[in-house]
Amino acid sequence: MLVLDERLRVVLATAAAEALIGTEVPTGVLAPQLLCGEAVERPIAEALAQGLPVTGAVVRPDADGGTRLLSVSATPLVRGDTRVGWILLLGAQLEGEDPTGAVQFHGMWTGDPAMKHVFHVLRRAAPRDATVLIRGETGTGKELVARALHEASPRRDRPFAAINCAAVPGSLLESELFGHVRGAFTGAVKDHLGVFRATDGGTLFLDEVAELPLELQAKLLRVLETRTVLPVGAHAPVPVDVRIVAATHQSLRRAVERGTFRADLMYRLRVIPLFVPPLRVRVGDVALLTRKFVEELNEQSSRSEGRQVLRVAPNALEALERYPWPGNVRELRNALEYAYVIGDGPVLQVTDLPLEIVDPSAGPDAVEALPVNAPPASAPEESPEVQRIRRALERASGHRERAAQILGISRVTLWRRMRELGLDA
């Protein structure tokens, strides 16, 4: 237990608290600094500063160089209507862990303390209606996090919808979100519900929310504040009950500074901010996710009595752990699926991995960089690239989009290479 004064300075620390924190705790030290250190997100510090009771978890360095997860629950001490301090109860967190330290939350795996903290916040936030803002690089699992929030919430039996604010043209987005009435504009031949009303009672995932045009930001803010939507061309607002989960790969704060995002909307969206760390900083997750994905591929493959991988070669795992994963978990998954298709036998070899992972200087467009030479029809033996494409197509049952995904290239690139290699029969 820690007792804090109204300015969040430690007044008293029990011996058990010191043992959990792993250091002596001098009185007068600021609790957020003590507990959160230089962490990027400081949910506990922020909540305490706002005077909210809070339960969260913090990551602390361990005596033997590792990290441990501490749960923190804070209760304000109130006299009359003034807050005079806080009591913080600390505990070591072991919840749901298997012996290797891996935990699962609605289909997401991790062994990394910062990700476990994300799961913990998700578990806490799920039952409430508070708006969650997820930030993370591409492929880190933002959409998975949004779905997990929905699945863990009382709204799970109601709809979940995702709308990508960057993918829908601004002119259509308003009606996509809020609906329209017949005759509202040319082409509005019948009423349109819009995703807000279609998701009534459920969860709406607003992906790439930073891309929302400014005038729609004003309208979204009004929806969040009044809990009603005004369909395009309608005269009366309609009540809606939707929980919003928004995602962005860039900092909204910076978008506000640039003047492309409204500060009031940012505050309204980031009631519960969540940062999903990139794969390259997650401790042990490349090895853990590699194991999980290979197990998954084995399971899929066993249905067709296909390849079963029993081991990942140590040098393959080393290459995977060295690679910086700009595409994060999605890229890891694709790379493993690729290696699974390309290789044979019970060991996943380093030579099965996509070239740019083993040799990053080969670049992400290694397939495109290969010389366009060899007259394909008369070639005595198929080039490795032709073989790769053939096998990917086989595995995708001829479905090109899927084959392109397996190869980690765009559908257009695959189509072009197939034409150039004479595979477009």
144 binds, among Mg ion, ligand ATP, none (CB under 5 to 8 A by kind): ligand ATP
Q: Count the neighbouring beta carbons within 10 Å of the beta carbon of residue 75.
A: 13
User: Looking at 50-58, 142-150, 218-226, 310-318, which segment touches ligand ATP (CB under 6 A)?
Assistant: 142-150
Looking at the Cβ atoms of 138 and 308, the one nearer to ligand ATP is 138
Only one residue has tokens 């708006």, namely: 131
Least distance (Å) between residue 309 CB and ligand ATP:
18
Structural contact between residues 312 and 294, judged by C-beta atoms closer than 8 angstroms = yes
User: Looking at 34-42, 138-146, 260-268, 340-348, which segment touches Mg ion (CB under 5 A)?
Assistant: 138-146
Work out which of 117, 142, 180, 243 binds ligand ATP, going by CB under 6 A.
142
Among residues 248, 164, 241, the alpha carbon closest in space to that of 203 is found at: 241
Work out which of 141, 202, 231, 277 binds ligand ATP, going by CB under 6 A.
141
Structural contact between residues 111 and 75, judged by C-beta atoms closer than 8 angstroms = no
- What are the start-end ranges of the E strands in 53-113? 54-61, 67-79, 82-92, 103-105, 108-110
Cα-Cα-Cα-Cα dihedral sign, residues 411, 416, 421, 425? positive
Residue 300, amino acid: Q
Work out which of 131, 140, 203, 217 binds ligand ATP, going by CB under 6 A.
140
Among residues 281, 267, 306, 265, the alpha carbon closest in space to that of 397 is found at: 306
Residue 252, amino acid: L
Retrieve residue 115's tokens. Answer: 């990700």
Structural contact between residues 146 and 247, judged by C-beta atoms closer than 8 angstroms = yes
What does residue 299 show for φ and ψ, rounded to 5 degrees?
-65, -45
Integer-rounded Cα Rg, in Å, for the chain is 26
Structural contact between residues 425 and 393, judged by C-beta atoms closer than 8 angstroms = no
Q: Which of residues 313-372 bind Mg ion (CB under 5 A)?
A: none
Q: Which of residues 234-273 bind ligand ATP (CB under 6 A)?
A: 249
Among residues 99, 101, 96, 98, the alpha carbon closest in space to that of 122 is found at: 96
Q: What residues pair up with 356 in beta bridges, in sequence order? A: none
Provide long-range contacts, Cβ within 8 A and 24+ apart, for 236-239.
238/197
User: Looking at 34-42, 126-134, 140-148, 330-338, which segment touches Mg ion (CB under 5 A)?
Assistant: 140-148
Number of residues near Mg ion (by CB under 5 A): 1
- What are the start-end ranges of the E strands in 220-356? 228-229, 238-239, 243-248, 272-275, 311-312, 347-348
Q: Rounded to an integer, what distance in angstroms lies between the CA atom of residue 1 and that of residue 36?
A: 16
| Four-CA torsion 162, 166, 168, 172, nearest 10 degrees | 110
Least distance (Å) between residue 205 CB and ligand ATP:
9
109 binds, among Mg ion, ligand ATP, none (CB under 5 to 8 A by kind): ligand ATP
Number of residues near ligand ATP (by CB under 6 A): 16
Q: In the stretch 143-182, what mask flags binding to Mg ion with x, by CB under 5 A?
A: x---------------------------------------
Among residues 351, 362, 352, 355, the alpha carbon closest in space to that of 297 is found at: 352
User: Looking at 139-147, 196-204, 231-239, 297-305, which segment touches Mg ion (CB under 5 A)?
Assistant: 139-147
Least distance (Å) between residue 392 CB and ligand ATP:
18
124 binds, among ligand ATP, Mg ion, none (CB under 5 to 8 A by kind): none
335 binds, among Mg ion, ligand ATP, none (CB under 5 to 8 A by kind): none
Residue 199: burial class (beta carbons within 10 Å; 0-12, 13-18, 19+): buried
Looking at the Cβ atoms of 179 and 354, the one nearer to ligand ATP is 354
Q: Which of residues 209-268 bind Mg ion (CB under 5 A)?
A: none
Looking at the Cβ atoms of 143 and 151, the one nearer to ligand ATP is 143
Q: Is 120 among the residues that bind ligand ATP (CB under 6 A)?
A: no
Q: Is 136 among the residues that bind ligand ATP (CB under 6 A)?
A: yes
Least distance (Å) between residue 336 CB and ligand ATP:
11
Least distance (Å) between residue 142 CB and Mg ion:
5
Looking at the Cβ atoms of 211 and 352, the one nearer to ligand ATP is 211
Least distance (Å) between residue 110 CB and ligand ATP:
5
User: Looking at 28-36, 140-148, 340-348, 369-377, which segment touches ligand ATP (CB under 6 A)?
Assistant: 140-148
Residues engaged in binding ligand ATP (CB under 6 A): 108-110, 136, 138-144, 249, 289, 329-330, 333
Residues engaged in binding Mg ion (CB under 5 A): 143
